[in-house]
Amino acid sequence: MNRKGFTLVEMAVVLVIIGIILGMVVKGRELVQGAKTKSFIVDVKNLENMQYTFYDRFGRFAGDCDNDGLVDEKELNLAQTSLDGTPTGLCTAGTAQDDPDAAFSELKAVDMLSDESNSAHSTMKGGFGFAYFAQDAEGKNVIVLRNVPCYAAVSLDTAIDKTLDGTKGKIKAGTAGNSAWTAEGLCDANLTDGTVGTVLYYYDR
Ligand SMILES: [Ca+2]
Ligand SMILES: [Ca+2]
């Protein structure tokens, strides 16, 4: 049987073609990640802008039902007449905490969010992640950004803080110690490129 193998030139051509295809795949993935990240950052800034617009109109942040300056995760009395900055009656008495959509419900009640964007999930258009307004463990207002890939966390930190440090500034990693990125742009095991983490945005200046 006269079976001819590949010549060296043929092998080289095949390897070059494989390299080009791999390069295109990597480039394509970078483009998609870049587009998603841009959309994500726009969404985050929109959420911040909405919260300040609400503050200008009503004298408090959306979701701060007792008007003490901190966003609460309580069920709200959404009567339109209550949305004048007056705290009385805004918190629904005796209801459970941990309603991450409270601020979104108020933003929707004053037509700053559409019906479709009522829930925390659907306001994020980057194709990943979801957000809600809350306080951190120390009682500071934050936008909690969940399921954020490392590349997006790093881009957001660069865009807002102008430096890259998940432990400082307005953009921080949500869980100290196990999901921080460093000045070198590295994310550790819990927030690497392929996985996701929680990012906090301290928008309340
Ligand atoms: Ca409050
Ligand atoms: Ca930072």
Q: Report how far ligand 2's centroid is from the alpha carbon of 142 (Å).
A: 13
Amino acid at site 188: D
Residue 2 burial class via C-beta count within 10 angstroms: exposed 0-12, middle 13-18, buried 19 and up: exposed
- Reduce the DSSP state of residue 58 to 3 states and report it: helix
Q: Ligand 2 centroid to 34 CA: how many Å?
A: 19
Q: In b/e form, how buried is each residue of 125-156, taking b as 16+ CB within 10 angstroms?
A: ebebbbbbbbbeeeeebbbbbbbbbbbbbbbb
Distance 62 CA to ligand 1 centre (A): 10
Over residues 76-104, the pLDDT tens digits come to: 555 545 555 444 445 554 454 556 677 88
Question: pTM for this structure?
Answer: 0.77
Overall size of the chain counted in residues = 205
Closest CA to 143 of 30, 11, 31, 49: 49
Give 204 Cα–ligand 2 centroid separation in angstroms. 15
65, 83 Cβ separation under 8 angstroms:
no
| Whether the Cβ atoms of residue 182 and residue 166 lie closer than 8 Å to each other | yes
Cα–ligand 1 centroid distance for 118 (angstroms)? 20
Ligand in nearest proximity to the CA of 87: 1
**How far is the centre of ligand 2, averaged over its atoms, from the C-alpha of 40 (Å)?**
16
pLDDT score at 89? 41
In the chain, the percentage of residues whose pLDDT exceeds 90 is 22
8 C-alpha vs ligand 1 centroid, how far in Å? Answer: 72
Q: Are 189 and 179 in contact (CB under 8 A)?
A: no
Residues of the chain with pLDDT under 70: 1-3, 74-100, 115-127, 175-196, 205
User: From the CA of 205, how far away is ligand 2's center (Å)?
Assistant: 14
